[in-house]
């Protein structure tokens, strides 16, 4: 791996050793990782066709075994939507059926390097499925706390991997609170709190850079709830710029369901932080996050790159989902949020570069929801 590594608190600047399995600071603050990646582009041709081709840019101890199911290097596919040429990054084509495998592969590898034998996670479904899959591959026990409303297909999937599933009544936030007690006893493999997860997700930026001929695109559109994808894309491109491999970072467009849009509300208000959003139900269950823990960090990532936040209606999500399905991209409704945002973006003016939208979750995970949309 690249230069060595410690956790740093975003609130009080305290530094904590890397090989300590903590997920937050003693002050309760969120952690980032001080880490300098290394990447030799000359070594990429012929490297494994998975995200582990970027191992020197990933913060895993050199001697640690990689926990891999062959994830990453997903297709970047040209498509024409509403008469506009775009790129679709097919991150629904992962072993567990969502981009969360990027973070899970790295985070579970780190947990195993620490000698951990059990992990807990809270999730609307996909992060839990990913953590359960990689725990199964690593031989770790895994328990996932999920909101009662999570898609049945995702719960079946977690249990099939051998994970314990705890269904929590109420909102996604109630689930996040319920897991805290368990996190005192077991390693908390949180896709929101743990910075290792973000470092796994950043490989999507490295792949886009490589697949576009070793350059950054002008615009990347992502669905955003807790921001693990948004922050991973931002981190990856920031690192590529710092390494001298990309000239500039892309503008990031984060898209939320209007029924649950705290980031959008803060962005249009010019606020530096998000506040809890009075949300109503959305078909995009993966982004139904009323109070994202890293809201301030998400807003800063968007603003620094000159990006924006869009909020799309349930009708727009349904239309984008049908459009994708009719083009052969079978994704779940949460993925359609990004494409609904992309279609809005088309209307804002002429494009100078093909925008990229990231497709995040497989449609087979949400058969019931897709059926109910008709
Ligand atoms: C399919 C899908 N897309 C996008 C997201 C958004 O990720 P995040 O909440 O980290 O912003 C999720 C999160 O669960 C998801 O399941
Ligand atoms: Zn602190």
Query: What is the Cα 108 distance to its own chain's centre?
Result: 15
* DSSP β-bridge partners for residue 256: 311
> 313, 283, 337, 257: which is closest to 149 by C-alpha?
283
Ligand 1 atom with the smallest distance to the CA of 230 is: 11
- Nearest residue by C-alpha to atom 3 in ligand 1: 360
The region that residue 153 occupies, defined by phi over 0 for left and psi between -120 and 50 for alpha, beta otherwise, is alpha
pLDDT tens-digit map of 232-276: 999 999 999 999 999 999 999 999 999 999 999 999 999 999 999
Question: β-strand 118-122 against 141-147: which pairing, if any?
Answer: parallel
The region that residue 321 occupies, defined by phi over 0 for left and psi between -120 and 50 for alpha, beta otherwise, is alpha
Considering every ligand atom shown, identify the ligand nearest to the alpha carbon of residue 12 and give its number: 2
pLDDT tens-digit map of 92-124: 999 999 999 999 999 999 999 999 999 999 997
Q: Which of 63-77, 104-118, 162-176 has the lowest mean pLDDT?
A: 162-176
Give the distance (Å) from ligand 1 centre to CA of residue 123.
Answer: 10
Q: What is the DSSP string of 62-107?
A: TTSPP--SS-----EEEEEETTEEEEEEETT-STTSBTHHHHHHHH
Which 8-state DSSP code applies to residue 10?
T
Ligand 1 atom with the smallest distance to the CA of 98 is: 1
pLDDT band at 374 (very low <50, low <70, confident <90, very high): confident
Whether 3 shows a pLDDT value over 70: the answer reads no
* Residues whose Cβ atom is located within 5 A of ion ligand 2: 9, 11-12, 14, 25, 27, 29
pLDDT tens-digit map of 266-302: 999 999 999 999 999 999 988 989 999 999 999 999 9
- What is the distance between the alpha carbons of residues 103 and 131, in angstroms, rounded to a whole number? 9
Whether 349 shows a pLDDT value over 80: the answer reads no
Ligand 1 atom with the smallest distance to the CA of 228 is: 10
Q: Of all residues in the chain, what percent carry a pLDDT higher than 70?
A: 99
Tokens of 336: 């359609």
pLDDT tens-digit map of 210-232: 999 999 999 999 999 999 999 99
Tokens 């999730």 belong to 123
Average pLDDT over residues 131-149: 96
> 41, 42, 31, 43: which is closest to 5 by C-alpha?
31
Q: How many Cα atoms sit within 13 Å of 52 on the Cβ side?
A: 16
Mutate to test the pocket of ligand 1, among 98, 154, 204 (most ligand atoms within 8 A of CB): 98
Considering every ligand atom shown, identify the ligand nearest to the alpha carbon of residue 8 and give its number: 2
Give the distance (Å) from ligand 2 centre to CA of residue 111.
Answer: 22
Q: Which residues line ligand 1 (CB under 6 A)?
A: 98, 124, 126-127, 223-230, 286-287, 289, 332, 334-335, 360-361
pLDDT tens-digit map of 293-328: 999 999 999 999 999 999 999 999 999 999 999 999
Give the distance (Å) from ligand 2 centre to CA of residue 29.
Answer: 5
Ligand 1 atom with the smallest distance to the CA of 223 is: 4
Which class for 30: exposed (0-12), middle (13-18), buried (19 or more C-beta within 10 A)? buried
Please state, in angstroms and as integers, the Cα–Cα distance from residue 204 to each residue in 36, 121, 355, following that order. 18, 22, 15
Average pLDDT, the chain: 95
Residues 6+ apart with CB under 8 A from 190: 23, 121, 122, 183, 197
Higher pLDDT, 348 or 251: 251
Please state, in angstroms and as integers, the Cα–Cα distance from residue 18 to each residue in 21, 105, 136, following that order. 8, 17, 24
Average pLDDT over residues 29-49: 96
Asked if 146 and 165 touch (Cβ cutoff 8 Å), the reply is yes
């Amino acid at each position: 791996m690249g230069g060595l590594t410690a956790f740093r608190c975003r609130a009080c600047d305290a530094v904590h050793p890397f090989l300590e399995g903590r997920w937050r600071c003693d002050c309760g603050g969120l952690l980032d990782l001080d880490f300098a990646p290394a990447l030799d582009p000359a070594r990429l041709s012929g490297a494994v066709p998975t995200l582990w081709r970027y191992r020197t840019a990933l913060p895993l101890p050199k001697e640690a075994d990689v926990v891999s199911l062959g994830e990453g290097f997903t297709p970047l596919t040209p498509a024409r939507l509403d008469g506009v040429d775009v790129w679709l990054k097919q991150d629904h084509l992962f072993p567990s059926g969502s981009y969360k495998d990027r973070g899970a592969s790295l985070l579970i590898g780190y947990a195993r390097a620490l000698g951990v034998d059990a992990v807990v996670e809270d999730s609307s479904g996909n992060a839990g499925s990913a953590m359960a899959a990689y725990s199964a591959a690593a031989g770790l026990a895994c328990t996932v706390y999920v909101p009662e409303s999570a898609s049945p297909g995702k719960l079946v999937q977690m249990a099939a991997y051998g994970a314990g599933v705890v269904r929590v009544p109420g909102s996604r936030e109630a689930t996040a609170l319920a897991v805290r007690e368990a996190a005192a006893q077991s390693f908390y493999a949180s896709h929101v709190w743990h910075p290792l997860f973000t470092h796994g997700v950043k490989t999507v930026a490295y792949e886009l850079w490589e697949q576009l001929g070793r350059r950054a695109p002008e615009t990347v559109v992502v669905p955003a709830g807790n921001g693990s994808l948004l922050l991973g894309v931002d981190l990856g491109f920031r690192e590529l710029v710092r390494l001298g491999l990309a000239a500039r970072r892309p503008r990031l467009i984060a898209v939320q369901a209007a029924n649950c849009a705290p980031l959008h509300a803060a962005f249009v208000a010019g606020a530096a932080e998000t506040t809890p959003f009075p949300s109503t139900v959305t078909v995009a269950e993966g982004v139904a996050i009323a109070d994202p823990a890293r809201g301030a960090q998400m807003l800063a990532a968007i603003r620094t790159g000159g990006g924006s936040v869009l909020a799309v209606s349930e009708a727009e999500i349904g239309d984008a989902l049908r459009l994708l399905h009719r083009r052969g991209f079978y994704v779940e409704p949460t993925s359609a949020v990004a494409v609904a945002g992309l279609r809005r973006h088309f209307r804002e003016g002429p494009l100078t570069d093909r925008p990229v939208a990231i497709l995040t979750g497989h449609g087979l995970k949400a058969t019931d929801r897709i059926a109910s949309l008709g």
